[in-house]
Amino acid sequence: MDRELRRNILLLGLLSATISTNIYVSVPNLDLISREFMVGDFIVSVIAGSFFFFYGISAVIWGYLIDAFNINRKKGLYLAISAAILFDLLAGLSNSAYVLLLANILIGISLGFSIPAIYGVIIDYFPLEERIFAIALWNLLSGLGSSAGFAFSFASGYLSNWRTAFFIIAATQSISFIALKSIREPKKGESELVLREVFERGKKYDYRLNERNFINAIFKKTNYFLILQSFFISAGWGAYMGWGIHFMTREAGLDKVQAAAILGLVGLGGASSVIMAKFVQKFQEINLRLKLFIAGFLVAGEGTSYIIMYSLLKFIHPGIASTDILQSVMILLATIGSNALFALSILIGASGNFMGSTAGPIRGTVVSEVNLPEEKSALYGVLIVSDHVGRSLGIVLVGAVSSILSSLYLGLLASFSLYYIGSISWFKATKTYMKDREKFLRILNHRKAEILSG
């Protein structure tokens, strides 16, 4: 990877990190929001889930508009981030659960532009042999951003109130403009090897998406299976992030500081996914389909890891909660050091996070390999809507089960079992991937000939 590409991916990662601080801003303080506005678990789960739902819905709409009208992604990001800052301020000033719900919806709609836009830029920068690593690094930095937003929100709720987090994140968003200013808008399709001669001759790839081609692309078999796996995997992940802290405080005898620390330790597993991405890139040099098999096994492993982790925490029930922050941390560290089963539960969760973080970049690469340049952003938007509707479902499912059975644990297990359906979808995709890829290359070669002869 040359110097310019390294610089671009780091800038795009920084941009994504600041945008991603919005993702879990409501989640750590669902209990505080519930008490202030006097609403139950189901209502606060809808408030938190609304961001994911509308973030996803708007991503597919924005993705389509980007590809259909060749929207300048850099200018669009300026507008989207500016709008999100205003709606973050509205959320922090909200005087009812319904105003907060509206603010979350508007933030989601605004930032929905960012995912297909940034994905499209990355795909147009990086050739096939480097995409998995580039997307893995992008995902890692985005994950660090969402973790930072989670931490801001948690600290705000613990030390002040849940509203402060929205003001902090509104300020954090302004950093996005610094990164955005230095990013070059790439040409559509410029990283495709087949089209290299087109750009060397100073010509343009100016094909645009239309409604018919968009619908056909959605139902392309490989895309269809990727959409399915995204939905089911994300339902489990939404449950994990939306209710993990609350399960630990209610049903495992931990306090919020300890629960947040455990999720943070588990999240460290995802940091090593960029290393695994390098190995997957080597595997695809042997056989392109291998990466899809790898993703299927990783997804099944992720779901299994979370089921084991939460079951162990339920079984052990450490009961080490403390009202003093320093004492809470010291007790947690002492328990990790003295209770092998407790430490093992965290290690298993971290391994699951590692596996899931590795499967994500494979998905992004496969989308870029079976869809034409004018389809990629729109199709990635479809995956994002599937992803975030799935997260919403996972959050709401656990809240509903908790309301009916008074058990967050059972709701979490139900959501984690959906990972296995996602794994099956990956294995199904291996059977259609090569055929769809060959068709993609045939069409691209035909269009290259049309452009060069024109």
Q: What is the pLDDT of residue 148?
A: 87
Question: Tokens 């982790």 identify what position?
Answer: 309
CA 442 to chain centre: 32
pLDDT tens over the chain, length 454 residues: 567 777 888 888 888 899 989 888 887 888 888 888 888 778 887 888 788 788 888 988 999 999 999 899 999 999 999 999 999 999 999 988 899 999 999 999 999 999 899 999 999 988 888 888 888 888 888 888 888 888 888 888 878 888 999 999 999 888 888 888 888 888 889 899 899 999 989 898 889 999 899 999 998 999 999 999 999 998 988 888 778 888 999 899 899 889 988 988 888 887 777 777 777 777 777 788 889 999 999 999 999 999 999 999 999 998 898 888 889 999 999 999 999 999 999 999 999 988 888 888 888 889 999 999 999 999 998 988 888 788 878 888 888 888 888 888 998 998 999 999 999 999 999 999 999 999 999 999 999 999 998 7
Could you tell me if 374 and 67 are in contact, meaning their C-beta atoms sit under 8 angstroms apart?
Answer: yes
pTM of the model: 0.81
Q: What is the pLDDT of residue 295?
A: 92
Q: What is the pLDDT of residue 180?
A: 87
CA 198 to chain centre: 34
Q: In this structure, which topology does domain 7-195+218-453 adopt according to CATH? A: Growth Hormone; Chain: A; (1.20.1250)
Q: What is the pLDDT of residue 1?
A: 58
